[in-house]
A and B are shown apart, each in its own frame.
Chain A
Amino acid sequence: QSALTQPPSASGSPGQSVAISCTGTSSDIGGYNYVSWYQQHPGKAPKIIIHEVSKRSSGVPDRFSGSKSGNTASLTVSGLQAEDEADYFCSSYAGSNIFVFGTGTTVTVL
């Protein structure tokens, strides 16, 4: 039940794109198409953005997109806006009803 690896930080100017990676193993990300992504603003509960690798949750702008290749998943935020400044966490199913989360990435809008 080791955490998935994310870069601690990422940044971009308004209107630019930022991509966040999430690296796991063949026992979690590589083994299942059940990667999800969450956005968390300071002092708030996480909010789901993406489920099942690339499906946007209801109400999430299409500026957010998800993908996966091998043991690594990615979240891309296009057309960065000020309100996108937050922490982002990935998560993956790891079999036997076990879930693992990523270490988290803080996105800064410059």
Chain B
Amino acid sequence: EVQLVDSGGGLVQSGGSLRLSCEASGFSFNNYYMRWVRQSPGKGLEWVATIKEDGSEEYYRDSVRGRFTISRDNAKSSLYLQMNSLRVDDTAVYYCARASNYASDHWGQGTLVTVSS
């Protein structure tokens, strides 16, 4: 069974940093692109970043490029999101998701990031 477990969220002040983790199991992690998707409280979903199977390519939405870094450790079947220079509008539940067929076919349970001013 495919499982994705998100962790690392919390309360941080504006300008601060946080590192999210996603532990994967039940599939060959190194065969899949992986993504982070976020959802602001009571709002819609927003794609954040994607990383290639071997970690050689990364893609970001404009509003986080230069502040966030997606990475992975295939030996540990883990995905990460390093978030620096956090802003109030980065407040959201962050989900890791497995990419397949140009969609996200499995999702973690999400981890809440709250950025205070």
Contacts and interface: CB of A to CB of B under 8 A. Distances in A.
Contacts of A110: none
Nearest to B101: A51
Interface stretch (B8-16, B24-32, B45-53, B82-90): B45-53
Interface stretch (A12-20, A67-75, A78-86, A89-97): A89-97
A98 B61 contact: yes
Nearest to B35: A99
A11 interface: no
Interface string B85-117: 000000000010000111111111110000000
A100 B102 contact: no
Contacts of A64: none
| Range, interface on chain B | 20 to 34
A1 B62 CA distance: 8
B60 to A, nearest CB: 9
Nearest to A49: B103
A28 to B, nearest CB: 11
Classify chain A's interface size: 20 to 34
Interface string A28-64: 0000101010100000011110011001010000000
Q: Is the interface of B mostly helix, strand, loop or mixed?
A: strand
A73 to B, nearest CB: 13
Contacts, number: 66
B45 A51 contact: no
A36 B47 contact: no
A61 B91 CA distance: 34
B44 A99 contact: no
A102 B102 CA distance: 15
Contacts of B43: 104
A1 B101 CA distance: 20
A97 B44 contact: no
Contacts of B95: 45-46
- What are the nearest 4 A-B pairs in CB distance? A36-B103, A34-B102, A51-B103, A97-B59
Interface of A: 1, 3, 32, 34, 36, 38, 45-48, 51-52, 55, 57, 89, 91, 93, 96-104
